[in-house]
Every structure is written in C-alpha cells, then in structure tokens.
Amino acid sequence: MMKKLNVAIIGQGRSGKSIHGKYYCSEDNHYYNVKYVVEADAFRRGVAEEMYPGCKTLEHYEELFALDDVDLVVNASYSEMHYPITRELLLHGKNVLVEKPFGRSRYECDELIKIAKDKGVTLAVFQQTFLAPFYPFIYDTIRSGRLGDVKQISIRYNGFARRWDWQTLQKKCAGSAYNTGPHPIGMGLGFLDFDPNTKVVYSKLDTALTSGDADDYVKILLAAPSRPLVDIEISSIDAYSNYTVKVQGTKGTLKANPQSYEMTYICAEENPVHPVIEESISDANGNPAFCSEKLLKHTEAEHFAGTAFDVGTAKLYEQLYYKITEGREMTVTPEMAAEIISVIETVHAQNPLPLKY
C-alpha cells in the first residue's frame, strides 16, 4: 500500500476549499492526507476541522516552516501572495503546489523556479486545464490533420456577469487576465507547442461591468511563424458565446467546450479540387449564377468524460505525487506556467489601466 503524503493547505477560500479541498475529500484521492490547514478566519478554521478529520488548523503560514511532517504545501492564498509565500516556503525546503497565477511577472516565476532547483524541492503550478479531457483531444485532433491546415484557433472564456470582489482589484494581482487568463492563454500557447517565437501581436484590456479597477475584458492575438493565429477572448459582456475553443482548418471546423465537441469536416478524395473558371458563371438557362457547390461533409459529436475540476485535478495531483516520490516528470511544468505569465505581463504593459484603489 502506497504511503500517503501529508499536505498543508494555505487558504480555505473558493479555491482552497471548493477545488483542492473537494479533491482531497473525494474518492479520487489515494495519495494525500490533509495534515494542516492555514486560515486566518476562525470560522473557516472550524469548518476545515470538520471537513478534514484529524487535521490541525493554523492561523499563520509561517508556522509551517518548522514542521518536519509536511510533504506538500498547497498555496491557495490571495493571488498577490502567491509569489512571496511560495518563495518563503521553498527557501524553507518545502515542496509547493501554487495556485494560478504563478506570479505577477516573469521575474518572479523564474526566481521561484531557480530557488526550487537550488533547494532540491518540487515546485508545481495548478494549471489543471491541460489535463482536462477536452484539451488533449483538441490538441491531438489538430495534429492529426483531420481538419487540414489549421489557420485559426479561437478561445473564448466569456459570459455576461459582474464581479465586485477582490478579484476585481489590480493591487490584488487580479482581473480577468491574471485570474481567468492562465487557462485560455495556457491552451493557446500549448496549441502552438510553446513555440519560443510566439509573439503578442495585438492585445486590449478594458473594464466593462466590473466594480473594481482591474480588467474584465481581454483580447489577445498570439502568432508564431508557420503556426495558426490564436485569438483569445475573456469577456464579461458576451451573452451569446456558445463555445470555448473553435478550430478552423482547410478541411473542417471543430467547436468544443469542456463538456462536449462537434466537428464538421470534408475528405479531399470526396471533394476533388474544382478547376478555376475565369469567365462569368451561368446557370443552365444562361442566366448569371453564384459560384457554389454542395460539399460532401461529415459531422461528429461526443461528450467528454470529466472536466478540469474533476479529471484534470485528479490527474495533476496523481502526477504531483509521483513527481515528489519518484521524480517523474509532470505534464505541466513551472517553465510553461512562467511563459503564460510572460504573455499576461506583456499584455498589461501594452494596456496600462488607471489605479483607483
């Protein structure tokens, strides 16, 4: 029987409790025992003691430094605390799984990566969307050639809603680009194989419905030589978005969300190339006609078994267990997460928003 690793969770907000905590209390968790929970709020500490029987609750994360029975610390603190808390934990020799965003800048990310290597500890970033069933399916479909030469990949994390919590404040390293952005930007970079020549060729940040001063409208175009154009949008004012990822290729289109996909495509042998006609086209009666034909198309649709919040989370934690215990590589590396932050940092530099709080 495998030995479970002792975990300390910092933070019992939506992420720490409802994402990480949900996993730890699920049947998918064969690897971890919640030993400590760090939470400033007394009520939430009480809830944690009921949620994780036998755990000890702490008020300050610094109390973890001297403990030698912690195998992994999950940093689910406020976004602006991801870097400083992770840095201190790494310097004290702790293995750390940090929530996204990895940091505010590429410098912060690179420093954390270096400290982890110098200390010989594991550093991982919770970017579980890469392990959700829909992402590898789309990635493999693009590489298979079934859609032909892919020209554009559109990614939409849109809705029609207003926020007024701490995730709307720039001083909290918040806004849609930092908060939601790591998921679509990560996928976009992934579809481009994290090509080092990828550039942000256009970006826009703006405020729409938010009560705060951080962005809730994001537009980013990523491009690399001989690669598809990646069009990323995160909007709080789109009431009609009906897909998460859309792939347009010379042989077909794929539309997907985390739950399901639909794909329409043609086969070249069933639709021979039509010769070009330079003269005006006429119908059987000699009247002018529109240039059109009925392509023989195929359509398929399926549902995915699970999302980033169940299958993706479970896979990431399984990989992390074997990274810590056996040194196995993980699908999502800190270097990948650092590239995502590079894009977000660039977009913020190109679109400075006024500070109000």
Which pLDDT tens digit goes with each residue over 151-166? 999 999 999 999 999 9
E-assigned strands of the chain? 5-10, 32-38, 56-58, 72-75, 96-99, 123-126, 150-156, 199-206, 217-223, 229-235, 245-249, 252-256, 260-266, 297-303
Cα(99)–Cα(97) distance, rounded to whole angstroms? 7
Please check whether residue 194 lies inside any domain of the structure.
Answer: no
Please check whether residue 354 lies inside any domain of the structure.
Answer: no
C-alpha distances (whole Å) from 46 to each of 39, 50, 51, 54, 265 are 10, 7, 9, 12, 55
Please check whether residue 254 lies inside any domain of the structure.
Answer: no
Please check whether residue 189 lies inside any domain of the structure.
Answer: no
Domain count, the chain: 1
Tell whether the model's pLDDT for residue 199 goes beyond 70. Answer: yes
Closest CA to 188 of 215, 218, 161, 144: 218
The residue behind tokens 């590589």 is 329
Closest CA to 127 of 302, 344, 327, 326: 344
Note down the domain range covering 116: 5-126+310-332
Instruction: Please write the tens of the pLDDT for every residue from 101-146.
Output: 999 999 999 999 999 999 999 999 999 999 999 999 999 999 999 9
Please check whether residue 107 lies inside any domain of the structure.
Answer: yes
DSSP 3-state of 216: coil
Please check whether residue 219 lies inside any domain of the structure.
Answer: no
Spacing of C-alpha 115 from chain mean position: 24
Tell whether the model's pLDDT for residue 5 goes beyond 90. Answer: yes
Give the CATH number, domain containing residue 57.
Answer: 3.40.50.720
Contact 324, 123 (CB under 8 A): no
Strands 229-235 and 123-126, sheet pairing: unpaired
Cα(75)–Cα(98) distance, rounded to whole angstroms? 5
What is the C-alpha R_g of the chain? 24
Cα(103)–Cα(330) distance, rounded to whole angstroms? 20
Cα(37)–Cα(274) distance, rounded to whole angstroms? 67
pTM: 0.95
Instruction: Please write the tens of the pLDDT for every residue from 20-64.
Output: 999 999 999 999 999 999 999 999 999 999 999 999 999 999 999
Please check whether residue 218 lies inside any domain of the structure.
Answer: no
